[in-house]
Structure 1
Amino acid sequence: MARTVAHVIVDALSDLGVRQVFGVVGDALNPLTDAIRTTEDLEWVGCRHEEAAAFAASAQSQLSGTLGVCMGTVGPGSVHLLNGLYDAAKSHTPVLAIAGQVPLAELGSDYFQEVDNDALFSDVAVFRATITSPEQLPQMLETAVRTALGRKGVAVLTVPGDLGERELSGDRPARFSLNAPLSRPDESAVRQAAETLDSAERITLLVGRGARAARDDVLALADRLAAPMVLTLKAKEGFEGEANQFQVGQTGLIGNPAAASALEDADTLLLLGTDFPYRDWYPQGKTVIQVDSEAIHIGRRVPVDIGLVGDTGATVRDLLRHLSTPAPGAQGARDRSHLEKARQHFGRWHEGQLRLADPAHDKGLIGRIRSSLDNRTQDIRPEALAAAVNRLAADDAVFTSDTGMATVWLSRFVEMRHERRLIGSYNLGSMANAMPQALGAQCLNREQQVVAFCGDGGLSMLLGDLMTLKTHQLPVKLIVFNNRRLGMVKLEQEQAGLPEFGTVLDNPDFAAVATAMGITGIRVSDPAELEKAVRHAFDSPGPVLLDVLTNPDEIAVPAKPTVEQGWGFAVAKVKEIVRSHGDTGSH
């Protein structure tokens, strides 16, 4: 029996193991969504905005390691996919976007809603094509999917509105067989790197997401080299927890001084599976060895003395075999004072952070002095909120975080222990990603706890998709850091010596909004009620929005605060006070 273009595509996705397709229905997609309706193993998740659909598909792909799928109808529907697809592209995760198009006969005629999708997605997609004949299937679909999986990127397949119902003359099923290659660097380069590491006195590792699959090998290497391990944000998952006695947290603006010192004190840096982009946070004058599966990543952030292109696990195992440094405890083993110094520094910093996160902190003498300067209205400290979530969330919870201060507090106070997972827009840096990514994550497993760290600005940007959580009864727990500000922008302005401008948000009562949508809404403003409110949010069935009024003047001190930043902040505060007094006097 002949099948239609729509059924060939949908059946192939189902056979591939795709379980949800995210999107907004529209006329050009009608044949495809109807095929999904009649396919038992494939669920249509209707979103309120296509950007949310693309974020959800990206999240599923990142968590599952397989293909995420989203759809947008002709014209604006496809345009709206772009930001979420850029997030997938920058996260190097495979996503297939199926875009609607005007009827075939109208292509190129400036028809109503016509957009040139092949041009529109040219920058974001590793594959893009428009189906113009049923006979192009299933080969074009196979190519799109293989390219997305093989190159870990976005593929866009455009389907004109009148093509989906056309029948194919043949009935060959789609085939997607694809095996990921395992690459190793040249033997001589590995030997050179091992000799360099053997002769180094103080080694620090900078470990990224690309090393997560090689966790045991990386820990063995850190032990052998007596090397502290600085983690990128995306390496928190897999490398945090008590079992890792080498990690000293993150560097950069969200980092801590122990990590910054571990990098500065080293004479040799070993970069494993990371393309950490912030050049200013790399120390100067060090011997640098970099391991990455992508040759283009070698040396593009910091000058590299030895580049090893290959799978991180395979390369680390090769290094371990070539090192002449004895194992810990053996005669001639490496001195461990560099590691111990970094770990002690990290422990002191971590203990100090936990004191700041204690809800009772502001009642003590130091806390009262601090509050008189930066929290006169006694709002809840965001540190306390993040720490409470960390204590009460499940050990296998999936966390998402909005770009900005929500990510800062997650980075510092939420530990990715045990089986916890973490995703965010950590390469693109988009607003409004946490809630739709949590939506996609929860669809993968409705029994697993999913926690979204939402900024109030990010949440309100795609607020409509709260209804998607309600409609599909997805039990996501939304933790809203409601500081009535675009907090990161405020901090950036003040560090540059500028008064806060344009960052104040006139927020609604988000808990009341959630309640009006049929979602459990909880609002808390009293620090003494914080723990109870967080526990209530986790204990409540179904989707929950916890609206927490947090201190808008909270400062996240970077790992290496500069005199210029401190001076800029002081100048900004003076300007804000003067402006405030002037405003008061004018009324």
Structure 2
Amino acid sequence: MSRTVARLLVDAWEELGVRHVFGVVGDALNPVTDALRASESVTWVGCRHEEAAAFAAGAQSQLSGTLGVCMGTVGPGAVHLLNGLYDAAKSGTPVLAIAGQVPLSEIGSDSFQEVDNDLLFKDVAVFRATVTSPAQFPALLEIAVRNAIGRRGVAVLTVPGDIGDQEIPDDRPLRLAVTPSPNRPDDPAVEAAADFLDEGGKVTLLVGQGARDSRADVLALADRLAAPMVLTLKAKEGLEDDNPFQVGQTGLIGNPAAAHAMDSADTLLLLGTDFPYREWYPKGKKVVQVDRVAEHIGRRVPVDVALAADVGPTVRGLLQHLAPREDRAHLDHATGLYATWRNAQDRLTAPGHDRRLLGRVRAALDNRDHLVRPEALAAAVDRAAADDAVFTSDTGMSTVWLSRFVHMRGTRRLLGSYNLGSMANAMPQAIGAQLLDTGRQTVAFCGDGGLGMLLGDLMTVRTQRLPLKLVVFDNQRLGMVKLEQEQGGLPEFGTTLDNPDFARVAEALGITGIRVTHADELEEAVARAFACEGPVLLDVLTNPEEIAVPAKPTVQQGWGYARSPSCARTSPARGSEHSAGE
């Protein structure tokens, strides 16, 4: 029995275990959405913006390890997918995007809404093609799926409006299987790397997402080398909890202990990370890098020993050759510094912090309206959330507070736009995550700027009856931009946001809305939000003057704050406890 192009596409998704397809309906894709309507295992999720659809598909892919799928119709619908697809591409996760197109006879005529999709998606996609005949479609679909899964990236198939409902001649079963296998370097390379590390003096590990599935091996390696372990943000999940070697993050969201562990090492061992901030790599160190993607090696920092292989088998090979370290002073000093900094941070989050002497002094200078400290909000959510919760975070200060005050204990998962750095990702990623398992708690750390950008997809939360917990850090600012301006000695400009009462907006949409305007209301409000069975938007007015001092504040940054007119009133106290270490 012959099948149409649209029916074959839906059958392929069923075979691949795809459960949801995200997008906005439109004429060019009507045959596909009609085939989805008849599917018993793949559900169409209509979003209010295609960008949200692409973010949701990418989130499902990252969490499930399977193919994420999104669709955008001809012209503007396809264009709107682009930002979310870039996030998937830079996150290295497989997503298939189906883009509509004008009828075949109109292609190239600058027809209404016509966009050259193959050109549009050239940079973001590992594979892209326009279907020009039904007979061509099965092979193109197989190639697209294999590229997306095998190369862990985005594949885009463009389907003209008059192709989807045509029958495929000579219909045959699809061949979609892709079985990636782990690889390890050969024995001489492993032995040479082990010798290099044995002679490398004090070693510090910088561990990324690529090592998350090899937790036991990586911890054994840290113990063998007596090495502190600096985690990238993506490595918090799976490697932060119950890890006596970890000292938190480096970079702008980092802490002094992690910076010290990097700076005081003789050798850095990079495991499964493409940490992109070159200025945070100390100079003059010996470097060993292990990464399954060969082109990642050496592009951030010069590398002495390169092992292009998966972390797990490589580390197991190293453990067979490395001698145990008896001197653990480097490790103990770094972990001691981290414990001291961690205790100081925890004091900031105490419910009565601003009622104590130091808190009252700080509040008089930088929080005269007694708004909620964002640290306290993040810590309260951390205490209330389940040990298997999925967290998403918007780019900017929301991610800073999550990185410092949310502990990835138990089987918690973490998603964000941590490579692309897009705004507005937290809510749509949470939509995708929650649909995978409606019984699993999903928490979005939303910036007020990010939430406002894709606010329309609150209606998707309502329509899908998703029990999301949307936590809004409502400082009425583009907080990270404000911070950047002040670091440069500039007055704050263009960052203020004229926000509505987001809780009342949520209530108007049939979502429980809770608004917090004072620190004394926080604990009860967070408890109420997490006790509610349905979707909740928790709108918390947070202090816009709160900043997180980076791990190694520079003289230039300090001088920038001093010169910034918007900092002049508060600069002596702002963030002082973050850097003092107490």
TM-score range, shorter chain: over 0.9
**Residues 1:284 and 2:276 are matched in the alignment:** no
**Structure 2: unaligned runs, 5 residues or longer:** 571-582
Residues 509-568 of structure 1: CA distance to partner in whole angstroms, max 9, x if unpaired? 000000001111000112111011111111112111000000000011000011111110
Cα displacement string for residues 120-174 of structure 1 (whole angstroms, at most 9, x for unaligned residues): 1000000000111110131110110010000000000010111111111222121
Q: Is the 8 A contact 2:365 2:569 kept in 1?
A: no
C-alpha distance in 2 between matches for 1:359 and 1:11: 54
Kindly provide the amino acid, as one letter, of the partner of residue 221 in structure 2: L
| Aligned counterpart in structure 1 of residue 405 of structure 2, from 380, 401, 413 | 413
The Cα shift of 1:175 comes to: 1.8
Name the aligned partner's letter for residue 394 of structure 2. D
1:388 matches 2:396: no
Residue equivalent to 2:68: 68
Match of 2:131 in 1: 131
Are 1:460 and 2:459 an aligned pair? Answer: no
- Show the counterpart of 2:272: 273
Identify the range of structure 1 (65-74 vs 199-208) with the bigger mean alpha-carbon deviation: 199-208
Task: Tell me the residue number matched to 2:170.
Answer: 170
1:137 is paired with a residue whose SS is: helix
1:334 Cα shift? 2.3
The normalised TM-score by structure 2 is: 0.97
Secondary structure of 1:138 counterpart: helix
In structure 2, the residue matched to 1:438 is 430
Q: Counterpart of 1:269 in 2: which secondary structure? A: strand
> 2:479 is aligned with what amino acid?
G
User: By how many angstroms is 1:228 displaced?
Assistant: 0.4
Q: Is the 8 A contact 1:71 1:97 kept in 2?
A: yes
Partner deviation per Cα, 1:472-525 (whole Å, 9 max, x = no partner): 101110000000000000000001100100000000000000000111100011
Q: Which amino acid aligns with 1:286?
A: K
In 1: Cα distance, 2:5 partner to 2:470 partner:
39
1:338 paired residue number: 330
Does the CA contact (< 8 Å) of 1:500 and 1:576 recur in 2?
no
Alignment partners' CA distance in 2, 1:374 and 1:568: 18
Moved over 2 A (4+): 186-189, 573-578
Q: Distance in 2 between matches of 1:31 and 1:248?
A: 53
Say if 2:486 and 2:567, in contact at 8 Å, map to a contact too.
no
Q: CA deviation at 1:574?
A: 6.0
User: What is the alpha-carbon root mean square deviation over aligned residues?
Assistant: 1.1
Q: Which residue of 2 aligns with 1:12?
A: 12
Which residue of 545, 558, 566 corresponds with 1:553? 545
Give distance in 2, aligned partners of 1:110 and 1:367. 63
In the TM superposition, what are the counterparts of 1:165-564 in structure 2 within 5 Å? 165-241=165-241, 243-323=242-322, 325-326=323-324, 333-564=325-556
Does the CA contact (< 8 Å) of 1:231 and 1:249 recur in 2?
yes
User: Would you say 1:41 and 2:41 are equivalent positions?
Assistant: yes
Rounded to whole Å, the distance in 2 between the matches of 1:398 and 1:448 is 8
Please name the residue that 1:581 is paired with.
none
Is the 1:12–1:173 contact (alpha carbons within 8 Å) kept by the matching residues of 2?
Answer: no
Is the CA contact (8 Å cut-off) linking 2:430 and 2:444 kept in structure 1?
A: yes
* Distance (whole Å) between structure 2 residues aligned to residue 170 and residue 574 of structure 1: 70
Residues 16-70 of structure 1: per-residue CA shift (max 9 Å, x gap): 1000000000000100000000011110000000000000000000001110000
Distance 1:297 1:169 in 2: 43
1:569 alignment counterpart: 561
- Cα drift, residue 400 of structure 1: 0.2
Separation in structure 2 between the aligned mates of residue 34 and residue 575 of structure 1, nearest angstrom: 57
Contact 1:481 1:548 in 2 (8 A): yes
Whichever residue aligns with residue 362 of structure 2, its letter is R
Answer with 221-230 or 171-180: which moved more.
171-180
Unaligned stretches of 5+ residues in structure 1: 327-332, 579-587
Paired AA for residue 421 in structure 1: R
Provide Cα deviations, 1:447-468, integer angstroms capped at 9, x if missing partner: 0000000000000000000000
What does the per-residue CA deviation read over 1:369-407, in whole Å, with 9 as the maximum and x for residues that have no partner?
Answer: 111111111000000000000011000000000000000
With 172-181 and 150-159 compared, the bigger mean Cα shift is at 172-181
Deviation, structure 1 residue 575: 7.2
Deviation at 1:576, TM superposition (A): 6.5
Q: Is the 8 A contact 1:67 1:96 kept in 2?
A: yes
Offset at residue 577 of structure 1 (A): 6.1
Contact kept, 8 Å, 2:60 with 2:68, in 1: the verdict is: yes
Task: Please report the TM-score for the alignment, with normalisation by the length of structure 1.
Answer: 0.96
CA offset at residue 181 of structure 1? 2.7
1:23 equivalenced with 2:15 (yes/no): no
Q: Percent identity?
A: 71
